[in-house]
Structure 1
């Protein structure tokens, strides 16, 4: 130990100088790349400094219980308007200063929490706590430090106690023992989080790189080698996987939700659906679930760099046990196109496109468009009369795949206008002559439908080639590419290089694709949209449009829309969605700003949340029993691959009660009557 310390002291100054220079060199290269490639680069000035500084503070101290006001004021005075100048001078000492103050504050909190763990807390004190919806000023002084943390722990404990039972009288009777029990858990969880942060290598420099990029627009981002690999992998239908899916339960515990019968978790044989994951380890570190953020946990599980993972599992009635799994390349069923047949008055094909995936790093050019084409051929073998394409929750992906997919439905002609940094307009043409499918098409969208999926939906909507139903989409009409900052290829930027417009000259940027039929969607008002990001591009319109010929007359679209809207307005299901959204809005968008810290009040607040959650869960179960089944071709495939039948049956069960699919079918039925 003494020898290591001596070496550190001897070389410390040299290492610090290298570390100070390195972030600035990376920032300089990031800026050079953005200025050269970005569709609308901004100058590096005081507004960038403010953006980076404010976002960094909010990220490090979102609860305002870490930094003293004096520390914030000092940082603000020295850096809030100076980061741009320091970066240009290649002086990034401010990053080390942030790291020092951050580490100091974490250690300070750790010592206080250890003290509070030994102290008794009075849960009968008449007091209140203030809630904030957005970031609020740093206000904590040295004198208020302990008071603020005592209040936070007391409130966290009361929340846990209130959630422990539905019987308030029982809670009152056992209040002392319950508060003692949950106080120790609450403090240990906070200490665990702090210890994890103290052990971690500094990430402040990477946060600065990230905020530097998102200053230019929300979709320009910094990637390390590992994060770039993870991002590209997420847009593929095959990836390294442990072979299971997880979900969060009402207690924010990570639960194994489903196990792939072809994956390593199933082959291992020790894991069961419903198991709780309490810690995750790779070959270098172990993360306790209660100590880490969901982002950190997700990175550890998903990262291609972590091929061997050890899970510690908690199962009711058994001792905790560990399972070590080695990832295998698996087909990602959740990120692969699939199709079903629905028999109503007409035969309707249904195709779900989870994302516009592509094999970016392979010579194999097959991707989403080819897979959709395959499913269309399968459905046409069953003589379908119409087609429903589900783009709900499709966050986009490859623009090349979206262009190819549009070509399967448009005979020929222009499909989009792309504008680059020089404002040069390029007209994108349908890549194929003719089309694979020419029957009626309905596209389902919601607030999470974004980017490439919006691009595809606008093309078919402008040509009257499809009707779009659902809620307004995200509103992203930009294209990105991933570029290395230099030849070393250790740092990358996903940079926005183009804006795209509809062939009418209009854009859905910031406003989203407006459906032909607005259908209420659960949670739609709280989904974050493009317009909610402070650096998002504003909506604009090109002064020119391109001649094209719609496939169906607007009069027919008008009648179909009118009939559909009548059904939606009269639907008890969709009226219940509207009612449920109002309750969600009231709870989330308009929370009580001041809450008395008494068990009765906290219990009532918990009851509101629990009741709403139970209502949502029971509400989703409303049955309409659509006649959904496998296409003849896919049914024959299941005889060859019987292990996939259970997964298919789960999908069919969900679709049987899909009210959006039901309304799409009614529109297609109307189409044949009106036509």
Structure 2
């Protein structure tokens, strides 16, 4: 019995050691594959060690209230410059030490919060709080734990109360009544989140894998079998779904906002629009919404591996009830190509491409390019005089689909140059002869236009086949492929950057993005995270091409149209006001390092500024000269056959009627037609 007891005590340590060894074996396999296939591999040295260590710390303690300064210093001294050497030695035991200290920190946090529950907080002391845009040094000492959490909870309570009403006098008069409930809510949620983290099985090895990959570039990453399936499904317009849409209400609660009448959620007959989701259960793990991250909730709901989901719901503050939903394969209408016609006289066609989806599972479903071809055919039947291709917020997808799509609008020739790690240049030819459509084209882009959509946009611009309208794109000109770490073992995979794309001019939009011919202001344009914001992004370069190509029209015509458009944009009040609001947003963000007094007045004032700005953005609309948006003749006929699609069709029309970006695209096409 004594031997058995000793063995049980040693078992957790033995398991950690075993996991540590396995983790290092996987990392070394990742490194071997990266060094062999990556377009620009780096050596394993101190730079990698610092990068991995700092990212692990930021993941475990982003707000700097878990680790003590002494614990951080101990870890940094032992590992910050040594992880590279330990990995090469097959020793990843540093993960165990980091996780152990992290869990100790969570226990400390929980104890401090439980003690604060029993204490009366003093809101009258002179104090300030400071917010940081980026991570900052770990400063917490053992004798300051209660002080740190006391300050954080006081701020959260004041913020909770300040957010409940704009009437400051009423809040101050009723503060003593409001404070206990707000304090209990804030502390209970913090404890609940902490318990959830402590109860969750830690998988630090997956964090190590991904940070190791991220060191080489932002798009190389590790996939388990489940995450690979989810990623592949995201490139398809058909995937397992519950058939419902959720949103956050003013109280940051998750609410069912839409239920697809063709989906499994609707078929249960038990869900209603407006129901509040309180918990999500995937038959293995249950996540309480009140104390789980939105990312964790989202992952559980959308994961392809979670085909059976139980939702805990509450309706009108009544009793909580459970509904079991089994996902089924559904067409994602919001993520599929669709088209309309703008104007009765000018008749400009409009095609929205949300993503470059593809039939990766071989189910026979049409890819993005084929769907676009169908919509172009429908629009041509109505004799359109021009075409707008909308790639705003298109994050990319299948490069094969982007190549096909470019080929449909380019007559013939080389469309891109691909370079691998050996610097070999592979020319990509237009896969089709002739053009699907020969009229004028405007392509709409923005800061979220990325990858395959940038690739397509650059080709259209270089061939003078379209005028690009919008803002500079994200800046990704690399291609990834998914490879197994071991050929005969389909459990661990690597999404690996293997190629760089260059334009037929020899230039690249990697890191810098594709610059449109006419720049349109957009909300948050200085906030969007672009390729050049990632510290490990591959830098921009160029090559000397040996490609001859014939532009569709002379560049002088594109420049003439761009100049006329720029004059209209400069005089437009809508775009002027966007610039003004963006200036206010930037000022607000730049104040993030200033100290904010810990008073109800100061916090409410700050909240009102943010709320007012958010209201300006949400209510800001271009109401003058609404566009005449309607369905093509063929699509009208199809809506008669499939009436369930009328709701989303009308929603799409309503969103386009007052779209100033589309309005300017139509102006450009009309300008083109009158100048020819």
Q: TM-score range by the shorter chain?
A: over 0.9
Task: Report deviation, 1:202.
Answer: 0.8
SS in 1 for 2:612: helix
Matched, 1:614 2:636: no
Aligned to 2:579: 578
- Taking only aligned residues, the RMSD between alpha carbons, in angstroms, comes to 1.6
SS in 2 for 1:312: strand
Verify the 8 A CA contact 2:112 2:145 in the aligned structure 1. Answer: no
* Aligned positions of 1:63-74 closer than 5 A: 63-74=63-74
Matched, 1:302 2:302: yes
Task: Report deviation, 1:592.
Answer: 5.0
Task: Report deviation, 1:145.
Answer: 1.1
Aligned to 2:538: 537
* Aligned positions of 1:31-110 closer than 5 A: 31-110=31-110
Aligned to 1:474: 474
SS in 2 for 1:434: coil
Matched, 1:598 2:599: yes
* Aligned positions of 1:414-425 closer than 5 A: 414-425=414-425
Aligned to 1:634: 635
> Aligned partners of 2:43 and 2:419: how far apart in 1?
21
> Aligned partners of 1:17 and 1:617: how far apart in 2?
53
> Aligned partners of 2:100 and 2:212: how far apart in 1?
21
SS in 1 for 2:565: helix
> Aligned partners of 2:590 and 2:548: how far apart in 1?
44
Verify the 8 A CA contact 1:414 1:428 in the aligned structure 2. Answer: yes
SS in 2 for 1:481: strand
Matched, 1:171 2:198: no
For the structure 1 residues 261 and 53, does the alpha-carbon distance in structure 2 shift closer, same or farther, using more than 3 Å as the test?
Answer: same
> Aligned partners of 2:163 and 2:116: how far apart in 1?
23
SS in 2 for 1:426: strand
Verify the 8 A CA contact 2:477 2:508 in the aligned structure 1. Answer: yes
Deviations 1:589-620 (A, max 9, x none): 43252011000000100101111111111103
SS in 1 for 2:142: coil
SS in 2 for 1:279: strand
Aligned to 1:552: 553
> Aligned partners of 1:358 and 1:5: how far apart in 2?
56
SS in 2 for 1:525: coil
> Aligned partners of 1:478 and 1:313: how far apart in 2?
43
Verify the 8 A CA contact 2:387 2:439 in the aligned structure 1. Answer: yes
> Aligned partners of 1:565 and 1:127: how far apart in 2?
50
Aligned to 1:434: 434
Aligned to 1:197: 197
**In the comparison of the two structures, how many residue pairs are matched?**
674
SS in 1 for 2:506: coil
Aligned to 1:208: 208
For the structure 1 residues 84 and 317, does the alpha-carbon distance in structure 2 shift closer, same or farther, using more than 3 Å as the test?
Answer: closer
For the structure 1 residues 343 and 5, does the alpha-carbon distance in structure 2 shift closer, same or farther, using more than 3 Å as the test?
Answer: farther
* Aligned positions of 1:494-513 closer than 5 A: 494-513=495-514
SS in 2 for 1:526: coil
* Aligned positions of 1:517-536 closer than 5 A: 517-536=518-537
Verify the 8 A CA contact 1:345 1:669 in the aligned structure 2. Answer: no
Matched, 1:410 2:410: yes
> Aligned partners of 1:4 and 1:105: how far apart in 2?
31
SS in 1 for 2:432: coil
SS in 1 for 2:411: coil
Aligned to 2:288: 288
For the structure 1 residues 318 and 3, does the alpha-carbon distance in structure 2 shift closer, same or farther, using more than 3 Å as the test?
Answer: farther
SS in 1 for 2:129: strand
For the structure 1 residues 539 and 650, does the alpha-carbon distance in structure 2 shift closer, same or farther, using more than 3 Å as the test?
Answer: same
Give TM-score scaled by structure 1 length: 0.97
> Aligned partners of 1:291 and 1:621: how far apart in 2?
39
For the structure 1 residues 475 and 97, does the alpha-carbon distance in structure 2 shift closer, same or farther, using more than 3 Å as the test?
Answer: same
Which moved further from structure 2: 70-79 or 251-260? 251-260
Verify the 8 A CA contact 2:622 2:660 in the aligned structure 1. Answer: no
Which moved further from structure 2: 187-196 or 261-270? 261-270
SS in 1 for 2:490: coil
Aligned to 1:460: 460
Verify the 8 A CA contact 2:574 2:622 in the aligned structure 1. Answer: no
Aligned to 2:131: 131
Gaps of 5+ in 1: none
Verify the 8 A CA contact 1:351 1:389 in the aligned structure 2. Answer: yes
Task: Report deviation, 1:588.
Answer: 2.3
Task: Report deviation, 1:316.
Answer: 2.8
> Aligned partners of 1:554 and 1:97: how far apart in 2?
62
Give TM-score scaled by structure 2 length: 0.97
SS in 2 for 1:590: helix
For the structure 1 residues 440 and 69, does the alpha-carbon distance in structure 2 shift closer, same or farther, using more than 3 Å as the test?
Answer: same
Aligned to 1:669: 670
Matched, 1:341 2:360: no
Aligned to 1:313: 313
* Aligned positions of 1:561-576 closer than 5 A: 561-576=562-577
Deviations 1:60-107 (A, max 9, x none): 101000000000000000100110000000011011111111111111
Task: Report deviation, 1:254.
Answer: 2.0
> Aligned partners of 1:287 and 1:575: how far apart in 2?
45
Aligned to 1:256: 256
Aligned to 1:242: 242
Aligned to 2:447: 447
Deviations 1:249-281 (A, max 9, x none): 344322222221211122223323333222111
Task: Report deviation, 1:13.
Answer: 5.0
